[in-house]
Homo-oligomer: A and B are copies of this chain.
Amino acid sequence: MSSTRSLQYRVLHDRLKKEIVKGIYKIGDTLPSENDLCAATNLARSTVRHALLQLEKEGYIVKQRGKGSIVAATRRSLGLLSFQGFSASVNGSSVSTLSVQVPKISPWPSPFFFPLSIEEEHAGCISFSRVRKIEADRVMWETTYLPNLNLPRFARTFKVEHSFFEFLAVHHQVEITGMVQEIRAIHADVRTAKHLRIKKGDALLVINRKYSTSRSSLNIYSTLYCNTNKYAMSNSSGTMPS
């Protein structure tokens, strides 16, 4: 199924990852110790360690000497610009989502902001659109586009209020593996101004993103219009103290 033949560390890694994603191990739980895993799988410890190191690199667990391998947030979000960590915790502020357009099938917008493959072009496009709020402020208008490809019943089963990436992981075993984005400052047009409750001409941040996924034919695209008047977009990378 998944490209690689049967590398033993891969098999163990995949098994543990599935168990984490499915919730058999919950955030904060401790995985079986390396020695336990050795005993259970009949693998050498370095092989078990290799599997765990992969999981750690992917952000699924954190290893702590003397304690064990502890399940971390199910999903990393490295390098993504976000409102200080959007869907998750924004300093305890209440975050909410308004549906602007439920998933619908349509042709790709033209011109599109990233070049499309023939396969994608051909498949047609599913798009949906939503507005994100922090407290009472409308801070972001987001439209997501994806090819209508091997995602049966998607348009009917996805609820716009949920996390899209979580939905893909749980229902389609699709994970985000990379992202490229392009950022500009523009003046708001009438339509955008209306969605974000600002004035036409106000300064606005627009981000065009392309996500690659674990399914090589599936890329996901999105456009974000961000009102940064009150909340800035932020991100970090590398190791920052405290």
The interface residues of chain B lying within 8 Å CB-to-CB of A33 are none
Instruction: Tell me how many residues of A have a C-beta within 8 Å of chain B.
Output: 37
- State in angstroms the CA–CA spacing of A240 and B46 once bound together: 29
> In the complex, A180→B79 CA distance in Å?
10
Chain B residues within an 8 Å CB radius of A234: 180-183
Task: Return the CB mask of A153-196 against B: 1 if under 8 Å, else 0.
Answer: 00000000000000000000000111111111111000000000
Query: In whole angstroms, what is the CA distance A38 to B233 when docked?
Result: 47
- Give bound CA distance, A46 to B81, whole Å: 37
Alpha-carbon distance A113/B26, docked complex (angstroms): 37
Q: How far is the CA of A66 from the CA of B118 in the complex (A)?
A: 34
> Interface on chain A toward B: helix, strand, loop, or mixed SS?
strand
A240 & B178 in contact (Cβ 8 Å cutoff): yes
Residues of chain B contacted by A151 (CB below 8 angstroms): none
A228 in contact (CB, < 8 A): yes
A226 sits at the interface (CB 8 A)? yes
Q: Taking the nearest CB of chain B, how far is it from the CB of A123, in angstroms?
A: 17
In the complex the two chains form, is A184's CB within 8 Å of B239's CB?
A: no
A185 and B182 contact, Cβ closer than 8 Å, known pairs A212-B240, A238-B176, A241-B216: no
A93 at the interface (CB under 8 A from B): no
Are B180 and A183 within 8 A (Cβ)? no
Q: If the complex has contacts A186-B203, A187-B203, A216-B241, are A179 and B79 also in contact, measured as CB distance less than 8 A? A: no
B-chain residues with CB within 8 Å of residue A78 when the two chains form the complex: 79, 237-238
- Give A contacts to B, CB under 8 Å: 46, 78-81, 176-187, 203-205, 208, 210, 212, 216, 226, 228-229, 232-241
Other A-B pairs beyond A212-B238, A237-B237, 12, CB < 8 Å: A78-B237, A78-B238, A79-B235, A80-B237, A81-B183, A177-B238, A178-B238, A179-B236, A181-B235, A183-B228, A187-B203, A216-B241
